[in-house]
Amino acid sequence: MRPVLLGSMSPESLMEELQAAPSRALAARRLSELGMPTRKSEAYRYFEIDPLMDHDWERVEISATSEIEETQRRIVITDGVVTALPADVEVQVGCSDAIDLDGAHFDPLYYLGHLMSREVISLRFRKDARVTIVHRCTQPAKLLAYRTAIYVDANVHVQISERYEGENACGALILSGHDAFVSRDATLTLVKDQTLRIGDYTPIFSHRIKVDSQASCRLHSFDFGAGSGLQLIKAELHEHARIDADHLLYAKDHARRGTVSQIVHIGQSSVSNQRAKNILVEKARGIFDALIKVEHSGKETKAHQNSKAILLNDGAYMASKPQLEIYIDDLEASHGSTTGQLDEAQLFYLRSRGIAKDEARKMLILAFANELIDALEDDALREDLHRSFEEAYWGTTNVTCMETCHGCEDLAAETAAK
Q: Which residues bind another protein (CB under 8 A)?
A: 343-346, 348-357, 359-360, 363-364, 366-371, 374, 400-403, 406-407, 409, 412-413, 415-417
Closest CB 347 distance from another protein, rounded Å:
8
Give the nearer residue to another protein in terms of CB position, either 201 or 389: 389
Nearer to another protein, 269 or 278 (CB): 278
The answer to whether residues 296 and 326 touch, using CB atoms and an 8 Å cutoff, is no
CB of residue 6 to another protein, shortest distance in Å:
45
Rounded distance between C-alpha atoms, residue 15 and residue 9, angstroms: 10
The number of angstroms, rounded, from the C-alpha of 94 to the middle of its chain's C-alpha atoms is: 24
Pick between residue 141 and residue 402 the one whose CB is nearest to another protein.
Answer: 402
Q: Minimum Å distance from CB 345 to another protein?
A: 5
Phi and psi for 262 in degrees, rounded to 5? -135, 120
Nearer Cβ to another protein, position 87 or 416?
Answer: 416
For another protein, the closer of residues 240 and 386 by Cβ is 386
**In one letter, which amino acid is 325?**
E
The sign one gets for the Cα dihedral 110, 289, 204, 178 is negative
Distance in angstroms (rounded) separating the CA atoms of residues 191 and 245: 10
Nearer CB in complex with another protein: 41/337: 337
Instruction: Note the residue count of the chain.
Output: 418
Shortest distance, CB of residue 287 to another protein, whole angstroms? 23
Which region holds residue 269: left if phi is over 0, alpha if psi is between -120 and 50, else beta?
left
Of 319 and 364, the one with the shorter C-beta distance to another protein is 364
CB nearer another protein, residue 327 or residue 394:
394
| Region of 275 on the Ramachandran plot (φ > 0 left; ψ -120 to 50 alpha; else beta) | beta
Residue 314 to residue 87: CA distance in whole angstroms: 51
CB of 218 to another protein, least distance (A): 20
Q: What is the Cα–Cα distance from 42 to 51, expressed in whole angstroms?
A: 17
Minimum distance, C-beta of residue 314 to another protein, in the bound complex (Å): 18
Do the strands 74-78 and 242-251 form a parallel or antiparallel pair, or are they unpaired? unpaired
What DSSP designation does 205 have? E
Q: Between 248 and 260, whose beta carbon lies closer to another protein?
A: 248
**Cα gap 265→270, rounded to integer Å:** 6
CB closer to another protein out of 165 and 374? 374
Beta carbon nearer to another protein, 141 or 367:
367
At its nearest, how many Å lie between another protein and the CB of residue 385?
Answer: 14
Pairing status of strand 90-94 against strand 120-125: antiparallel
Residue 47, Cβ density class (10 Å: 0-12 exposed, 13-18 middle, ≥19 buried): buried
Q: How far is the CB of 332 from another protein (least distance, A)?
A: 23
* Shortest separation between residue 413's beta carbon and another protein, angstroms: 5
In the complex, the smallest distance separating the C-beta of residue 286 from another protein, rounded to whole angstroms, is: 19
DSSP states of 153-192: -TT-EEEEEEEEE-TT-TTEEEEE-EEEEE-TT-EEEEEE
For the bound state, the minimum distance from the C-beta of residue 226 to another protein, rounded and expressed in Å, comes to: 25
Which of 42, 166, 34 has the alpha carbon at shortest distance from 113? 34
Q: For residues 228 and 256, is the Cβ–Cβ distance under 8 A?
A: yes
Q: What angle do CA 90, 162, 108 make, to 5 degrees?
A: 90
Give the list of residues 6+ apart from residue 320 with CB closer than 8 angstroms, or none: 276, 278, 286, 288, 289, 307, 309, 337, 339
